[in-house]
């Protein structure tokens, strides 16, 4: 009987993908990016190895939020001091911090382990059309 294939970290081949966030729902974008970062789109996926690819997200400021989420969804930060809770609506995040909004969404879908933190480092988000990773020859990935 043949055993399952387990990929070694030395054998991992990393590809680069570009995702255009223009008009794409935030959740669908984050789910697609997290699957690629984890390597779940590959037939050689191994849970205990970081076998994922690198993801570049462009046009983060043009991401789509459905329903009343622009006004109802609230992002929280706490400084650790008494009274240090800061609240921002999704509308503020889209206007002022679009990169952070997508990074938070993707990070929330990754494992909460050392391996997840390692996967998160392969995510690159940019508010505009330009990115400095053209030398890696990234492939365009569609999100439906």
Kindly report the CATH number assigned to the domain that includes residue 32: 3.90.1180.10
Q: Considering the domain boundaries, does residue 66 fall inside one?
A: yes
How many separate domains does the chain show?
A: 1
pLDDT computed for residue 139 by the predictor = 97
**pLDDT at 1 (0 to 100):** 63
Provide the pLDDT for residue 3: 76
pLDDT of residue 123: 98
Q: What is the mean pLDDT of each run of 10 residues along the chain (144 residues)?
A: 84 96 97 97 94 97 95 97 97 96 98 97 97 97 92
| 10 found inside a domain | no
Close Cβ partners of 57 (under 8 Å, ≥ 6 residues apart): 18, 19, 21, 29, 33, 102, 123, 124, 125, 126
Whole-number Å distance between alpha carbons of 52 and 16: 10
Residue range of the domain that includes 127: 15-141
Look at residue 6 and tell me if it is in a domain.
no
Give the H/E segment covering residue 88: strand 85-89
Biggest CA–CA distance in the chain, Å, is 61
- Say if residues 90 and 65 touch (Cβ distance below 8 Å): yes
Q: How is residue 15 written in tokens?
A: 């590809």
φ/ψ (deg, to 5) at 67: 65, -145
Q: Report strand pairing: 54-58 vs 74-78.
A: unpaired
Q: Does 58 fall in a domain?
A: yes
Instruction: Note the Cα 47 to chain centre separation in Å.
Output: 18
Rounded distance, CA 71 to CA 99, Å? 18
- Kindly report the pTM of this predicted structure: 0.92
Query: Which string of b and e fits 3-13 if b means at least 16 CB within 10 Å?
Result: eeeebeeeebe
Question: What is the model's pLDDT at position 97?
Answer: 96
């Amino acid at each position: 009987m043949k055993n399952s294939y387990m990929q070694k970290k030395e054998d991992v081949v990393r590809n680069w993908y570009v995702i255009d966030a223009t008009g794409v729902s935030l959740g669908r974008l984050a789910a697609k990016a997290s699957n690629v970062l984890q390597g779940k789109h590959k037939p050689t996926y191994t849970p205990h190895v970081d076998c994922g690819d690198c993801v570049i997200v462009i046009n983060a400021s043009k991401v789509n939020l459905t329903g009343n989420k622009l006004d109802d969804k609230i992002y929280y930060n706490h400084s650790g001091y008494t009274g240090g809770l800061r609240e921002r609506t999704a509308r503020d995040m889209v206007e002022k911090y679009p990169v952070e909004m997508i990074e938070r969404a993707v990070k929330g879908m990754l494992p909460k382990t050392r391996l997840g933190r390692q996967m998160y480092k392969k995510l690159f988000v940019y508010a505009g059309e330009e990115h400095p990773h053209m030398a890696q020859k990234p492939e365009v990935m569609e999100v439906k």
